[in-house]
Structure 1
Amino acid sequence: MTGRAVFVTGATGTVGEFVVQRLLERGEPVLAAVRGTDFPSLPHGAQARPFDFDSSPVALEAALDGADRLFLMRPPPIADVQRYLFPLIDAAMRRGIRQIVFLSLQGVQFNRQTPHHAVEAYLRQVDAPFTLLRPNFFMQNLSTAYADRIRNSNEIFVPAGRSYTASVDARDVGRVAAEVFTADGHLRRAYTLSGEHALSYERVARMMSRVLGRPIRYSRPTETEYLDDLALHGADEQYLAAQKMIYRVVRYNLSAVPNRTIRRLTGAPATSLAEFVDDYRDVWRVER
């Protein structure tokens, strides 16, 4: 049967954890998709639901039992969305899920090569009750993927050149997701989510220097230097290709356009990078 919970894929990930938190704050029941039986710590009130994208149609439908809405995201290791994500969409349609909020990608409508574009196209093809969230670069990249280099070498090492980016805080994306799940008027709509200010990485480095009390530099590596460094640390060809595409988009300043969509949807301004760096400062703290 169909219930009234939100089934959240990627529930412990960069965005999913904040989707779960914000839904719970609104009193919404949450089924948090987790792999295996070793359940991670979840916020009080969230119900863990064993789940694997690589499951049979029957198992996918069973995983959705009790849910009437789905938060769908593509795990980074998954490139073959036709094999791993389309079947979940099909299962959701068979169960009568009334809304699928898909975590897509800023600018995806102009880039047919991304897996996100294929998912968006499929949602339209099957006439799904979708809402598309298209976030810009996450500020959390600084506190996750780039954190070790910042902490250990005082360096932001990304091939963005002199471009600008209107980064978005994943916490704000969680707020938006909770809003579109619980308010009317968001079906078959797409929202590009950016910060309200576009900054260069030189500016980001200066901002981090002030907050952390030590000099952080933006080294401006070339694309080749960046990709070679990733390969040296074990990145596979698929990941390298994705990173190459992403930072070419950045260097063309396609991620440089700020907007107020988060403010318009939630009633509160998007988190500024200065606020984010201050909130996450302990991530880059050097142990003495």
Structure 2
Amino acid sequence: MADVIEPKETASGSHLGAENKPVQVKWNRSVFYNATILGLCSFAAPGLWGAMNSLGAGGGQSPYLVNTGNALTFCLMVVSCWFTSGIIRYIGIKGALFVGTIGYAPYSAGLYLNNRYGVEWLVIVGAAFCGISAGIFWAAEAAIAIAYPEPRNRGRMVAYWLTWTRIGQILGGAVNLGLNADRSGAGKVSYTVYIIFIALQASGTLVALFLNRPSQVQRRNGTPVELTIFDNPWQEIKATTKTFFTRKFLFIVLWIGQGVYSEAVFFTYNALWFSVRARALGSFLSGIVAVICGNLLGLWLDVTRLDPSGSPD
């Protein structure tokens, strides 16, 4: 995996090899600017994907085809994420973010054709594209969100980035609710929803081009962003594979499982037992709750010392 290399600190808190002096930051080179670009990509890609899936069955009448597509998406996501660090070695973190946004619009296009014309094959093909690109996207954006901010601001910047993801879900839920507010029975959502989503998700690919490379980012304290992969791809794959069997990773497998459990169960339950209007309302409200809780958690992580030794950040 790509290592995030921070400058070492002395006992006095100064960075070895860096003057650690405040600098005048250009707005288009700032951490906040890059967090915003990353957030906009998250808004357009996984944010709107979440809005569609929180409807249940991707907005369709029956959950079974979409569940098959989602199963394929998540399986391929594991594989592509596994290889992402090796991919970044050749195309860089900016290129990985760009590639990671490409597969979401084809998935929405598959849902659109299935909703309007009953075409099924593009749902599966789109899910495959989405899974391959999404694994690269999640690995790349997590590295950016952690590496670009100063350590003391990481919690807030991560919360800010994830807020954009939920804004995508909120906006998508609002569109869903507005177009389906009068539909109190079971069934599928209006196909107009997907046209809006396809356009927004395609724009996320262009937004990714505005991200700064790590060497271009300017932190307020003057320290550089270090996000470099020196190993060859095969070494990266071996290091990633070893990580899967470390004690720390195995301890969080159950937490990872419960975090994505809703993709398979809750959304299917929504599709089978709730009206179109109720599903649209749930898609809208779940994003609002996630934004509030995520930002409160980010603030808490930055102001609370979780290390029992009391060592500084």
Is the TM-score greater than 0.5? no
**Which has the greater radius of gyration?**
2
Higher helix share goes to which structure?
2
Higher strand share goes to which structure?
1
Name the TM-score, length of structure 2 as normaliser: 0.28
Name the TM-score, length of structure 1 as normaliser: 0.30
